[in-house]
Amino acid sequence: MAIRTEPFVINVGPQHPSTHGVFRMRVTLDGEVIVDMEPVLGYLHRGIEKLAEGRTYTQNIPFTDRLDYLASMTNNLAYAMAVEKLAGIAVPERAEYLRVIMSELQRIASHLVGVGSFLNDCGAFMTPFLYMFREREKILDLFEMVCGQRLTYNYIRIGGVSYDIPEEFLPALDKFVREMPGFIDEYDQLLAENEILLARAKGVGILPKELAINTSASGPVLRASGVKWDIRKADPYSVYDRFEFDIPTGSTGDCYDRYRLRIQEMRQSVRIIKQAAEQLPQGEVLTRVPLRLRPPAGEAYGHIEGPKGELGFYLVSDNSVTPYRFHVRAPTLINLTALRDMMIGWKVADAVIIFGSIDICLGEVDR
């Protein structure tokens, strides 16, 4: 005799340790199998897009820090690039190199948190998380040395970077670049062929290539599905065309591929930092722009390859000191649109892993 079941709706979140913030999923279950999932967003909405319309272009930079607070440098960079495009400001060469170094360091730091919390969700409670945080601390130390803060940097400005690096920065960076591949090997030793990780993540939450493109996913989520798309190569910004690096891609697009891809991207980031530090030219780091900048009327879209995907800022100017429209193309919000299709058919326990493998940051999703 077959057991009669009926769908049951449960709420995961908003206050749930595995939702990495205040994300809420309304999950419909049949037994233990997920038959439907509806994301509920907006618990961390601060209205940054509206707030930015009342502030000058320079005053908005601290706000961009608070979008994706795990990758503030790349947020600063994307916003500064959009404003520079709007106002036609040239950036000194040294500043471009510093921007590349900072955004690649930030990519490593963000991936460390992403991988760490993903493994935390897989059941390796806290141990890999703290391994990853040990290296993240070193990156934050470097950032603190340069700009004085550890989380909200406010470092990359319109027309360059706010200050030149102190003289002890490059030796410390060199030490980090030499040490980091060893640490990544250490993670690999712990996790690459780990039976538990393979059993839990391999083949789980597959995002097919076509669906990934159709949902306009970007970043590691897209590349893990086998699409070789990286804005650093596809539309080179800053000085990325001068460096040699590969774009790792996954094959199946499951959770394990997304995890592996982040590890491989960290290795590539270390490569870029090494080259950028060697080629770093001397000179100015900031083009002076007026404090109350008035860009000509028009619109501009600046986009970069952030740690979590394509991060873009769309700005409309009406020749006043404040932007007329300030829109953020948040990568994680758009990656989240594929979540429902990835989750359906899997068990409740897998939901947490699939969600963790996207590596979202709610500050950016809700803005």
Rounded least distance, CB 242 to other proteins, Å:
28
- Shorter beta-carbon distance to other proteins: residue 62 or 92: 62
Beta strands in the chain (DSSP E): 8-12, 24-30, 33-40, 156-157, 160-161, 298-306, 309-317, 325-329
- Contact pattern for other proteins over residues 49 through 88, marking x by CB under 8 A: ------x--xxxxxx-x-----------------------
- Which residue in 148, 203, 296, 345 binds other proteins (CB under 8 A)? 148
- Which residue in 196, 213, 297, 344 binds other proteins (CB under 8 A)? 196
Q: Which of residues 284-323 bind other proteins (CB under 8 A)?
A: 291
- Shorter beta-carbon distance to other proteins: residue 15 or 282: 282
- Which residue in 24, 138, 303, 308 binds other proteins (CB under 8 A)? 138
Rounded least distance, CB 348 to other proteins, Å:
21
Cβ contact 159:77 at 8 Å: no
DSSP of 39-73: EE--TT---HHHHHTTS-TTTTHHHHHTTSTT-HH
Rounded least distance, CB 92 to other proteins, Å:
18
- Shorter beta-carbon distance to other proteins: residue 270 or 358: 270
Q: Which of residues 324-363 bind other proteins (CB under 8 A)?
A: none
- Which residue in 30, 32, 38, 141 binds other proteins (CB under 8 A)? 141
Q: Which residues are CB-neighbours of 292 under 8 A, at least 6 positions away?
A: 56, 321
Q: How far apart are CA 199 and CA 186, in angstroms?
A: 21
40 bridge partner residues: 24
Answer yes or no whether residue 197 interacts with other proteins by CB under 8 A: yes
Cβ contact 299:86 at 8 Å: yes
Rounded least distance, CB 201 to other proteins, Å:
13
Rounded least distance, CB 75 to other proteins, Å:
14
Please name which of 146, 111, 115 lies closest in space to residue 129, comparing C-alpha atoms.
115
Please name which of 300, 299, 303, 312 lies closest in space to residue 235, comparing C-alpha atoms.
303
Answer yes or no whether residue 30 interacts with other proteins by CB under 8 A: no
Which range touches other proteins (CB under 8 A), out of 182-190, 218-226, 272-280, 337-345?
182-190
Answer yes or no whether residue 186 interacts with other proteins by CB under 8 A: yes
User: Residue 59 has which token pair?
Assistant: 């005053």
Cβ contact 272:104 at 8 Å: yes
Rg (CA), the chain: 21
- Shorter beta-carbon distance to other proteins: residue 228 or 292: 292
- Which residue in 172, 239, 263, 348 binds other proteins (CB under 8 A)? 172
Rounded least distance, CB 196 to other proteins, Å:
7
28 bridge partner residues: 9, 36
Cβ contact 14:4 at 8 Å: no
Answer yes or no whether residue 275 interacts with other proteins by CB under 8 A: no
Rounded to the nearest 5°, which phi and psi values hold at 37? -145, 135
Please name which of 122, 362, 133, 70 lies closest in space to residue 258, comparing C-alpha atoms.
122
How many CA atoms lie less than 13 Å away from 264 in the CB half-sphere? Answer: 16
Rounded to the nearest 5°, which phi and psi values hold at 298? 155, -170
Rounded least distance, CB 55 to other proteins, Å:
6
Rounded least distance, CB 198 to other proteins, Å:
8
- Which residue in 35, 43, 174, 194 binds other proteins (CB under 8 A)? 194
Rounded least distance, CB 85 to other proteins, Å:
22
Answer yes or no whether residue 113 interacts with other proteins by CB under 8 A: no
Contact residues for other proteins, defined by CB under 8 A: 55, 58-63, 65, 134, 137-138, 141, 144-149, 152, 154, 162-163, 166, 168, 172, 186, 189-190, 193-197, 199, 291
